[in-house]
Structure 1
Amino acid sequence: MSLMDVSSYAAGEWVKPGAGARNIASAVTGEVIASAGNDALDVQAMLDHARNIGGPALRKMTFHERAKMLKALGQYLTEHKQKLYDISFSTGATQGDHGFDIDGGIGTLFVFASKGRREMPDGHVYLDGDVEQFSRHGTFKGQHICTPMQGVALHINAYNFPVWGMLEKLAPTLLAGMPAIVKPATATSYVTELCVRLMLESGLLPEGALQFVAGGTGDMLDRLTCQDVVSFTGSADTALKLRSTPAILENAVRFTAEADSLNSSILGPDAEPGTPEFDLFVKEVQREMTVKAGQKCTAIRRIIAPEAQVEAVIDALRERLAKNVIGDPAAEGTRMGALVSTGQRADVLEKIAILETEAERVIGDPDNFEVVGADREKGAFLPPMLFRCADPDKATKVHETEAFGPVSTIMGYRDLDHAVELANRGQGSLVVSLITNDGEVARDVAMGVGAYHGRIYINNRTSMKESTGHGAPLPHMVHGGPGRAGGGEEMGGIRGVMHFMQRTAVQGSPDMLQAIGQQFVPGAEEKPAPAHPFTRTFTELQIGETIVTDPREVTLDDIEHFAEFTGDTFYAHMDDEAAKRNPFFPGRVAHGYLLLSFAAGLFVEPNEGPVLANTGLDNLRFMQPVPAGDSIHVKLTVKKKTRRTDEYGEVRWHVTILNQDDALVAEYELLTMNAY
């Protein structure tokens, strides 16, 4: 195998390894396969390129255009992912491991693409929360808006997920409209470099949106400003060192970290041997010990089981782990490959020595295990190892030492409060799992461990067939944790996008807020519609365009007919004396849904036109009852427009129903799909 040059992509040019380059060895054979690093990188030119070229190009795009770009990137990588599979075997990863890294990363692109189209506007400003009214007559209001940071996002990633670790940060960054500089761990940087090359070769990214550093970043951290963001994954020690950079402190540079984590899994007291939950628990633990050779930030490091079940769990794990085939990750039948490097293997062995001061090894021998299809001495192989801590209350090392490999420690708990206490001894973890079929147990544990964990994964016989697993963070939800886990959050859907945007409070008149947010604000100037709005296409409709309908009287016959026709004979509509005894009604009143139906009859244009479908209504509120003899009319205003496809878009209408005195009776938002 020829030596690979892992190049950096800086200011639009690929730069080969140079001074300061490091050799990278195969995790399987120990042979040098690549070289990465160049101390002569012009980091200021990279920052300038991102800030002056990449940033403006991304900010010109709307959220939907960026989301469409992410989807296209995901599709392109899917078409070429076999190349990533092939090169990843040298990291020690098996074919199954690729699902967590490569497929997981691509899936993250698709999720953020979908969320960007569904939950963000087809514009440049994201509105955070509702409009706040500060004045009596509504002429002075406020709204929180979010706009892209105008610097660069520096992503510093760990070695264990060279693709997913990059894409989980890159997707929300690009969706926010911010350029990124990606710096992976050197040990697996050749996989990340290939993924970056594929994305750049796709032609889907604007120039300057993505740059790549193989090796060190030089003094880049010293050059960051208040508009930049650092997103880090790695050890807590390194996170502290980076976070303490003077420029980061002085400029209040945003810094998010995902660091060490002593994750735990709790076997519920109801999950005894013979139950589906017990078998599920053992399967989850075995999987987390062996997938990626245990090199996962979310892997189960501490197994917390009822004292009476500890021996049963050990026996069940021994049986399952005995079937675990360790060897060449590219070979069919291999269940667990190698650690990423011999250096990492040495680190795990050092951590094992620490664990052995408080726990007894009951499964696995690092000096005596079989490796199939590879040389055990040359590759970075280790067997799955389980330790038993007999006295977890007095122990300290098992609650603070993370052996980042196929290693876990089992300990017993006396009662549920004790289990919660042990889980929290990790002083902040990414995830805790609970296997139980008892809802009260789930509630008590969630209330007890929530403050110390970023994610609580609960599984039982109902969800086990469709659940994603203890160790699988989902892009829809936050990935991170307090304390030892770094105190940061990644992904989390649109919450993750907000890390790369500035939330700003904007105050002014309704017209000013409407102009900024491109969404109708009550009190802003209403534009009389030049024709019935249901006859106008999506493109023709303007924000604030309004019609006011003619009135319609609501009669007692209307109320009784609606009650008989629908079967809704609630007393407030049918019994005058009973209605009067109700503090909300003056007597018999019209059904709320009758008013909605009459409102539709007042504003709907019946003929075929650009309105393709009514897809629902939001935020319905009834403010004032309508007795027989009152009349109602409707004000219909274009509130917001969102492109959905190349053929049609969603129109959100602000609808108010008013009575003969112009008092507000009901208010809601109507959704329609309109042709362009």
Structure 2
Amino acid sequence: MNKLGNFVADKWITGDGEGQPLYNAVTGEPITSATTNGLDFKAMIDYAHTFGNPNLRKLTFHERGRMLRALALHLRNHLDTFYALSYKTGATKTDSWIDIEGGIGNLFSYASLRRKFADETFTVDGEGINLGKQNTFMGHHILVPKEGVAIHINAFNFPVWGMLEKCAVNWLAGVPAIVKPATITSYLTEAVVKEIITSGILPKGALQLICGSAGDLLNHVTSQDVITFTGSKSTALKLKKQDRILEESVPFNMEADSLNCIVLGDDVNPDDAEWDIFIKEVRKEMTVKAGQKCTAIRRIFVPENKLEDMWKALATSLSQTVIGNPLNDKVRMGSLAGQSQRDEVKQQVQKILASSQIIYGSLDSVEVIEANADKGAFISPLLLLNEKPFASTAVHEVEAFGPVSTIMPYKNMDEAIALSRMGKGSLCSSIVTANDKIARQYVLGAGTHHGRILILNKDCAKESTGHGSPLPMLIHGGPGRAGGGEEMGGIRGVKHYMQRVAIQGSPTTVTNITNVYQQHAKGIESDVHPFKKYFEELQIGEQLITQKRTITTDDINHFADLSGDHFYVHLTNTNFAGTMFEQQVAHGYFIMSAAAGLFVDGYEKNPVLLNYGIDELRFTKPVYPGTAIYVKFTCKEKIPQEQKPASPAGRETTDIPRGIVKWLVEIFDDTNEQVGIATILTMVARKAEV
């Protein structure tokens, strides 16, 4: 029997000995085996530190993002291979789509996120803080990539998504990865890694793979490394308590399986659309991946006067689920990942049955099509009933990691909230209600115990991604039993793999470190108007101080007539007693427009293509008639944009090479006090592609 490979120090290595046999979850037939015996785990970490980390750190966010996009496009060319292997894990086509294309989708998502960062190897975090009365001393924060490796210990249920959703984040941050998938389904992870390595897209050392035991890997981590774990709480705690992790203060991000719940609002009746939405959501969460999801619904809370109607409706819906060989298009639920997993689910169900009863399904038999229920790891969906949820603990503590869920009654929303909290921390919860007051009460009451809450009703159900769908731009994780960790979350997730550094110095020094102009820094004078310069020619800190313009009553009146803004403070005949103003005051937007008239040089065609927008516009002091204003106009930040590729037909693109320039606009009056400040954005042409 062939053994799976481990990708170590840019070489494929099979471990020593026969290894652990791995089986087709549908037929029970052996597929391959996996072992890591003989691997040098310390050398893996050293290799990631020596090669992978420096190779990624030297790339900018934009370069890393384009790398992710190229990788996603490459993997999409091999979907047939991945799907064929995924079926052997017991996954249906829908299950496989979530795992495979969902994982690739994360690569695309984080590739697009590069545009939220400057084209630098690090990123500026937040806004600068003035620390001195004379404006010569300030503070700021930057984030730099950690000099370690991300070690991902993943669960068996998502062998592709579990790897790519994590790696997309650490690669964008500039940190390499060592991936240790759960052994039982690691053959699918190995296939994807082989294509990643074959592509040659990642730099040397950016990815290593362990198919089997992690050995003494965690005994060699350093304070610069990051560990993420997905799986059971008991295993996570054993790993997290290791001496080396505690001694080195190694960040340990834990996502543990949790007792997630769904609540039916008291406002929902059998004739409402929300009733059917609730049933559909529960059935989906029980049967997708055969219930083997860390986000699956384990507890169902329903108003006690609707309990019987709901459990009968759920039983009817579950009875329509076709179970069997996932290669059959009619099948909607496949097998569990293996026989050992089925045994584990049955043992956990028995614990719950001490205080509950099965009202749909069977522990001992299941009807399947085009498969052998005994040879394959099949199990029936199991709907349990617990009529006294406050008197029970097992139903809120024991998780059967399969198509198993328990329905329970509640009297009022306070009880529903209390029951949801009895899970002691969950990844996610859902409430189905058409009443926004009920939704608000639940969210604010249950929010402390859940990482994510979905509010479902007929308005959003069509577009909703569902209870159990973590999204790349939102945090995935939860408090308490769920582990207290966070994954993904867009920019938030990237920061887990970076070190935040507070820097202090003069505004000029901080400008030169961050490559973002800081207010009060020394400006750079130029004889050429900045609007006459191409993107490449502009320097951060390049500054124009304009001539002055005196604002008149006629200016204010004309702007009021032109804009239609006749707010009382802009009128000459207003009695200003009791107002914040002494006399007629200029419109803030007129002052901004007048400022533009002072700094814009646009009579001749120049590299500025268009005004892209205004950020952070503030009016800080009233401008009265007779006041002279002037502008300090400074190049604040430059963001290159990528040119669109040529069309598939081979025609050249008409897209103009360009970038976005942010300008700090500071408006002063004739006493040199600031009356307004804004950041404006212009799109500026480049001389040539860079």
The TM-score normalised by the length of structure 1 is: 0.98
- Aligned pairs for 1:244-643 within 5 A: 244-583=241-580, 585-606=581-602, 607-643=604-640
Cα distance in 1 between the residues matched to 2:294 and 2:54: 35
Q: Is 1:43 matched with 2:53?
A: no
What secondary structure sits across from 1:273 in the alignment? coil
Deviations 1:38-85 (A, max 9, x none): 211111221111101111110110111111111111111122222111
Question: Which residue, out of 16, 19, 22, partners 1:21?
Answer: 19
> Structure 1: 5+ residue runs without aligned partners?
none
Amino acid at match of 2:210: V
Paired amino acid for 1:77: L
Tell me what 1:5 maps to: 3
Q: 2:96 aligns with which of 79, 83, 98?
A: 98
CA deviation vs aligned residue, 1:322-370 (integer Å, no higher than 9, x gap): 1111100111111100000000000000011111111010000122321
Contact 1:262 1:429 survives alignment (8 Å): yes
- Provide the secondary structure at the position in 1 that maps to 2:390: coil
Aligned pairs for 1:51-66 (under 5 A) are 51-66=49-64
Asked if 2 retains the 8 angstrom alpha-carbon contact of 1:49 and 1:208, the reply is yes
Instruction: Determine which of 156, 175, 196 is the counterpart of 1:199.
Output: 196
Q: Deviations over 1:352-406 (max 9, x none)?
A: 1111111010000122321100111000000111000011010100000000000
Distance 1:174 1:300 in 2: 32
Distance 2:526 2:210 in 1: 55
Question: Given that residues 365 and 379 in structure 2 are in contact (C-alpha distance below 8 angstroms), is that contact kept between their aligned partners in structure 1?
Answer: no
User: Once the two structures are superposed, what CA deviation does each residue of 1:449-496 show, in whole Å capped at 9, x if it has no partner?
Assistant: 111100001110100110000010111111000111011010011111
SS in 2 for 1:93: coil
1:641–1:652 Cα contact (<8 Å) kept? yes
Aligned to 2:658: 648
**Deviation, structure 1 residue 529:** 2.4
- Contact 1:400-1:426 within 8 A present in 2 as well: yes
Task: Give the SS at the match of 1:91.
Answer: coil
Q: Report the 3-state secondary structure (helix = DSSP H, G, I; strand = E; otherwise coil) of the residue aligned with 1:390.
A: coil
Shift of 1:580: 4.7
Superposed displacement of residue 576, structure 1 = 4.5
Question: 1:72 — aligned with what?
Answer: 70
Counterpart residue type for residue 58 of structure 1: L
Matched with 2:84 is 86
The count of corresponding residues between Structure 1 and Structure 2 is: 672
Contact kept in structure 2, 1:580 and 1:587, CA below 8 Å: no
- 2:31: which partner in 1? 33
Residue of structure 1 in register with 2:214 after alignment: 217
| Alpha-carbon distance in structure 1 between the residues aligned to 2:540 and 2:594 | 25
1:599 maps to a residue whose letter is A
Q: Deviations over 1:137-163 (max 9, x none)?
A: 121111111101101111000000001
Q: Which blocks of at least 5 consecutive residues in structure 2 are unaligned?
A: 644-656
Match of 1:139 in 2: 136
The one-letter code matched in structure 1 to 2:416 is A
| In structure 1, distance between residues paired with 2:410 and 2:588 | 56
Separation of aligned partners in 2, 1:570 and 1:314: 60
Tell me, in whole angstroms, the C-alpha distance in 2 between the residues paired with 1:155 and 1:578.
68
Conserved in 2, the CA contact under 8 Å of 1:272 and 1:278? yes
Q: Deviations over 1:646-670 (max 9, x none)?
A: 4111100000111122211100000
Distance in 1 of aligned mates of 2:18 and 2:607: 64
User: Relative to structure 2, which stretch is displaced further, 67-76 or 439-448?
Assistant: 67-76
Amino acid at match of 2:623: V
Alpha-carbon distance in structure 2 between the residues aligned to 1:674 and 1:397: 63
Percent pairwise identity: 48
**Take 2:627 and 2:140, find their aligned partners in 1: how far apart are those partners?**
36
- Structure-2 separation of matches of 1:216 and 1:512: 49
Counterpart code for 1:393: F
- Measure, in 2, the Cα distance between the counterparts of 1:575 and 1:667: 26
In the aligned structure 2, how far is the partner of 1:444 from the partner of 1:341? 41
TM-score normalised over the length of structure 2: 0.96
Is the contact between residue 338 and residue 379 of structure 1 (CA under 8 Å) also seen in structure 2? yes
**Secondary structure of 1:528's partner?**
coil
SS in 2 for 1:671: strand
Partner letter of residue 670 of structure 1? I
